[in-house]
Amino acid sequence: MSRSMGNYTRLGVNVDHVATVRQARMVKVPDPVEAAVLAELAGADGIVVHLREDRRHIQDRDLAILRQTVKTSLNLEMASTQDMVKIALEFKPDTVTLVPERREELTTEGGLEVAMNLEYLKKVTRLLQDAEIRVSLFINPDVDQVKASHRVGADAVEIHTGKYAEAKIRQEAEADYQRILNAAKVASKLKLEVVAGHGLDYRNVGRIARIPEIVEVNIGHSIVSRAVMVGMERAVREMKRAIGGEV
């Protein structure tokens, strides 16, 4: 489903890396909950956290407090394991985004292999939706994965923009952009809400945000990095301007 005329692309702010800094010293600050409050005050349309199985940044307590304090929308990124599903059913985020997860990776490296895990993901999706939790699948910009996500019964897909964001030459970026564009168009035709994320920053987000079918971008590292220099509220407002949103 695409944006209607006059609507802007929503911004979900991922506060994982605030917790990364905290966990480096195993202390209480900086607090991702405080960062989320400031992001919302600056105009964020939602807060995103990834509760990883190894708890390298966001902790269960963070999720519990965020569920009580987030005023916009809380999006929990997680692996599709039984333990994580139990946590989601306990805390009831507004959205769960199912992502692949490997302990040795620095950050999520690619999209879910939906087509190869269709029946299992159907069960997980149905379980979460029965608890009134929206389900989004984090996928590569691949039409086959979009179609598989539709068969799973997901409410949305989040298209992995990492290769586009990290492309070193213009031809690579253009090829990746076209894949994102095609995947977004197919997803919209299948009545899936279309989100984009991974590697997006102040420089490259604009073109992605202008794709009519993309209704939201989720951004973490770039905003948190900027916030170290200028503060969270200014960093979020600058990103809102970069994507063409209202401040």
Residue 233 annotated among the catalytic residues of the structure? no
Q: Average pLDDT in the 94-104 region?
A: 84
Q: In the prediction, which pLDDT does 8 show? A: 83
Which pLDDT tens digit goes with each residue over 38-85?
Answer: 999 999 999 999 999 999 999 999 999 999 999 999 999 999 999 999
Torsion angle of the four alpha carbons 18, 24, 26, 27, in this order, in degrees rounded to the nearest 10: -50
Q: Tokens for 194, please give them.
A: 């279309």
Nearest to 95 by CA among 37, 33, 22, 154: 154
Residue 221 annotated among the catalytic residues of the structure? no
Among 17, 50, 57, 150, the one annotated catalytic: 50
**In this model, does residue 104 exceed pLDDT 70?**
no
3-state helix, strand, coil in the chain (%, to 5): 50, 15, 35
If you average pLDDT over every residue of the chain, what do you get?
94
Q: In the prediction, which pLDDT does 110 show? A: 77
Which pLDDT tens digit goes with each residue over 121-154?
Answer: 999 999 999 999 999 999 999 999 999 999 999 9
Residue 198 annotated among the catalytic residues of the structure? yes
Among 40, 57, 77, 213, the one annotated catalytic: 77
Which pLDDT tens digit goes with each residue over 188-219?
Answer: 999 999 999 999 999 999 999 999 999 999 99
Phi first, then psi: give them for residue 113, nearest 5 degrees: -90, 85
Contact 91, 75 (CB under 8 A): no
Q: In the prediction, which pLDDT does 109 show? A: 62
Percent of all residues in the chain with a pLDDT value above 70, rounded to a whole number: 93
Q: In the prediction, which pLDDT does 5 show? A: 42
**In this model, does residue 105 exceed pLDDT 60?**
no
Q: In the prediction, which pLDDT does 103 show? A: 55
Among 57, 150, 160, 198, the one annotated catalytic: 198
Q: To which CATH superfamily is domain 10-243 assigned?
A: Aldolase class I (3.20.20.70)
> Which amino acid, residue 208?
I
Nearest to 141 by CA among 174, 171, 106, 179: 179
Which residue in the block uniquely carries the two structure tokens 């944006």? 3
Q: pLDDT class for 102, splitting at 50, 70, 90?
A: low
Percent of all residues in the chain with a pLDDT value above 90, rounded to a whole number: 91
Q: pLDDT class for 182, splitting at 50, 70, 90?
A: very high
